[in-house]
Amino acid sequence: MKSIQALAEDIHPGTFVHIIAIDEDPSQDQMATFKGNVSDQVSKVCEELAKHPILSTAPAIDAIGISQGGQFLRGYVERCNWPQVRSLVTFGSQHNGIIDFRSCGATDWLCKGAMALMRFGTWSKLVQSSLVPAQYYRNPATEADYNKYLENSNFLADINNEREFKNEKYKANLSKLTNFVMWMFEDDDLVIPKESSWFEEVNGTEVIPLRAHFEVPLVNTSRTSMSY
């Protein structure tokens, strides 16, 4: 993120760049990318940005999210959006979830233990409230699998507005974006499926595009430029 900050400042001298951190301690902030309640983390960011001495006075801000930070920033836009985001740009994010968890190193026993817990207890309250990747896990292989996701997902099912009750605030806030740009990495082997970065879904070998996927669009595309 420091390199992106430097690039933005080089391209547009005088630009104020704020890097979001969940914890002031770098090691704890790194830990928060894997362990924690995502909804609580988004709420914390909402509170901090709303009282930020510079950002809170800006007419609008632009936001960049890398990997899971992309859908977390989208959660910020939908749930609070003050200061209001003008353009949201995401790189390799998991907007439509993941259907599998990443592989661990051969001797990374801590990682293997956590992955085993997520695979066998994905929908438990413990996992959904404490292990970050599980909170954007989404594998609608069968109707039963999809229903489990809708019933138990702590984060993604909510911000994707997939449940029976549609949160109109989320749709309204996302519609306020001037630009929503989603980048997918063609050779991405960490996000499964990589097409999730474009809000797409993979059913076997068929890729279901964004507009076909949502019966009730999250955004009013006549007002929002969505690039992907």
pLDDT at 226: 39
Is the residue at 125 inside a domain?
no
Domain total in the chain:
1
Is the residue at 7 inside a domain?
yes
Structure tokens at 72: 């977390």
Is the residue at 170 inside a domain?
yes
Q: How far is CA 207 from the centre of its chain?
A: 20
Structure tokens at 127: 């996992």
pLDDT at 103: 77
- Alpha-carbon distance of 8 to 15, in angstroms, equals 7
CATH number for the domain that contains residue 31: 3.40.50.1820
Residues 6+ apart with CB under 8 A from 39: 75, 154, 155, 158
Structure tokens at 185: 């990495």
Is the residue at 128 inside a domain?
no
pLDDT at 228: 36
Q: Tell me the whole-structure pTM to 2 decimals.
A: 0.87
pLDDT at 207: 62
Q: What mean pLDDT, rounded, does the chain reach?
A: 87
| 3 state SS for 183-224 | ECCCCCCCCCCHHHHHCCEEECCEEECHHHHCCCCCCCCCCC
pLDDT at 101: 85
Is the residue at 193 inside a domain?
yes
Is the residue at 205 inside a domain?
yes
Is the residue at 139 inside a domain?
no
- Alpha-carbon distance of 183 to 78, in angstroms, equals 20
- Alpha-carbon distance of 165 to 119, in angstroms, equals 28
pLDDT at 209: 62
pLDDT at 6: 82
| Nearest-5° Cα angle at 187, 181 to 190 | 85
Torsion of CA 223, 41, 49, 92, to 10 degrees: -50
Spell out, as residue ranges, where the chain has pLDDT lower than 50. Answer: 212-228
pLDDT in tens, 189-226: 888 889 999 988 876 556 666 554 444 444 444 344 43
Is the residue at 157 inside a domain?
no
- Alpha-carbon distance of 196 to 6, in angstroms, equals 28
| Structural domain containing residue 11 | 2-98+166-227
C-alpha closest to that of 96 among 174, 217, 213: 213
The CA-atom distances, in angstroms, between 36 and each of 122, 147, 170 are: 15, 24, 23
